[in-house]
């Protein structure tokens, strides 16, 4: 951890450099395309559907598929023996309010990182949202344990460095299945690594010989997240023919959705966001339109 800042400063530029060097075609659509009309992944397909079957293959941008599938198998084993059982205990033993407080507390701790990303994206509206949430939840919400801000109409909006890089126009790069951490891509992995080392809370813990708390924090965040997806992932695994490919597609769609910040849940009762309907995000919603 002592060399952390060093590795961070080395890794990020290296990855960014790689991103600029890599042939554009090998990277999937930059975010500008996602915002453009009819440029959702599905639409590409409608346009190209009758051209060649290879389109589907290219679009997955998964040059390391063999390795990724191997790691995925490993992850499934670790998940079924360790992570999921722990997540189930967490879900079944802790009261719902406690689980919500864990998530709320962890989100509040992430404030510096979220705010930095809001600012790096020049998203002042979200930056204000982040600050307001922090002030409300850290005080009335008792150190972030209660998400009072959401109830006051200031819902959580997650941001991370991967999304910021995407907003800057960097494509997601090859799909990567990370051991334990799960689905990612080169861009998001870069973001995750950089955030791990740059997070002020982690740095403060590290500087005070409390490095173990960094892992507790990461572990709790992960278990909380896993516990919330048990049912959905069980269902997906039960009904899927190729679980790996299903997860790969879901990850892509989820990240595209995160990057667009276009969740309808975010604009409830927020008139300033209702323009998502009318202007700048024309076809953000229609994933595809089956031919008539």
Partner 1 sequence: MTFVAKRRLFAALSAAALLAGAFALAPTPAHAQDAAPAQAAPAQAAQSDASKFVQELGDRAILELTDKKISDEERVNRMRAMLKQSFDEVAVARFVLGTYWNRATPDEQGEFTKLYETLVSYTYAGLFKKYSGETFQVLRERTVDGDTVVYAQINQPAGGQPIPIEMLVRNGDGGYRAVDIKVEGISMPLTHRKEYASVIQRNQGQVSGLIKILREKAAQLEKGGAAN
Site for partner 1 in 167-226 (CB under 8 A): 204, 208-210, 213
Query: Which residues of the chain form beta strands (DSSP E)?
Result: 175-178, 182-185
The residue within the footprint of partner 1, chosen from 20, 239, 272, 280 (CB under 8 A), is 239
The nearest distance, CB 4 to partner 1, in angstroms, is: 18
Q: 273: closest CA among 82, 81, 59, 123?
A: 123
- What is the secondary structure of 105-132 as a DSSP string? HHHHHTHHHHHHHHHHTT-HHHHHHHHH
Report the site for partner 1 in 255-284 (rule: CB under 8 A).
256-257, 260, 262-265, 268-269, 277, 283
Nearer to partner 1, 187 or 260 (CB): 260
Query: How many Å apart are CA 11 and CA 197, to the nearest integer?
Result: 11
The nearest distance, CB 10 to partner 1, in angstroms, is: 28
Contacts for 282 with CB less than 8 Å, ≥ 6 apart: 36, 37
Nearer to partner 1, 82 or 232 (CB): 232
178 forms beta bridges with 182
Report the site for partner 1 in 129-148 (rule: CB under 8 A).
142-143, 145-146, 148
The residue within the footprint of partner 1, chosen from 33, 60, 88, 211 (CB under 8 A), is 60
The residue behind tokens 């189930």 is 88
Q: 38: closest CA among 291, 292, 290, 282?
A: 282
The nearest distance, CB 11 to partner 1, in angstroms, is: 28
The residue within the footprint of partner 1, chosen from 6, 47, 57, 225 (CB under 8 A), is 57
Q: Is 125 in the site for partner 1 (CB under 8 A)?
A: no
């Amino acid at each position: 951890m002592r060399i952390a800042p060093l590795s961070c400063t080395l890794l990020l530029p290296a990855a960014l450099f790689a991103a600029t060097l890599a042939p554009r075609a090998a990277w999937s659509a930059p975010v500008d395309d996602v915002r453009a009309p009819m440029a959702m992944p599905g639409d590409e397909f409608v346009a190209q559907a009758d051209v060649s079957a290879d389109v589907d293959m290219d679009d997955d941008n998964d040059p390391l598929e063999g390795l990724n599938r191997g790691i995925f198998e490993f992850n499934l084993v670790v998940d079924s023996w360790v992570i999921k059982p722990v997540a189930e205990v967490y879900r079944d033993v802790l009261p719902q309010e406690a689980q919500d407080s864990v998530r709320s507390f962890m989100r509040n701790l992430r404030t510096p990182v979220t705010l930095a990303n809001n600012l790096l994206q020049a998203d002042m509206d979200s930056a204000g949202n982040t600050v307001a949430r922090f002030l409300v939840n850290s005080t009335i919400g008792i150190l972030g344990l209660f998400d009072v801000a959401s109830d006051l109409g200031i819902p959580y909006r997650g941001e991370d460095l991967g999304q910021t890089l995407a907003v800057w126009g960097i494509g997601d790069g090859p799909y990567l299945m990370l051991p334990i951490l799960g689905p990612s891509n080169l861009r998001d992995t870069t973001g995750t690594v950089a955030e791990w080392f740059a997070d002020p809370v982690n740095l403060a813990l590290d500087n005070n010989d409390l490095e173990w708390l960094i892992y507790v924090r990461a572990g709790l965040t992960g278990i909380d997240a896993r516990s919330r997806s048990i049912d959905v992932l069980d269902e997906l695994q039960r009904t899927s023919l190729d679980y790996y490919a299903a997860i790969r597609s879901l990850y892509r769609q989820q990240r595209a959705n995160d990057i667009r910040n276009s969740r309808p849940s975010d604009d409830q009762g927020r008139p300033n966001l209702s323009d998502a309907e009318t202007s700048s995000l024309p076809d953000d919603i229609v994933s595809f339109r089956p031919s008539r």
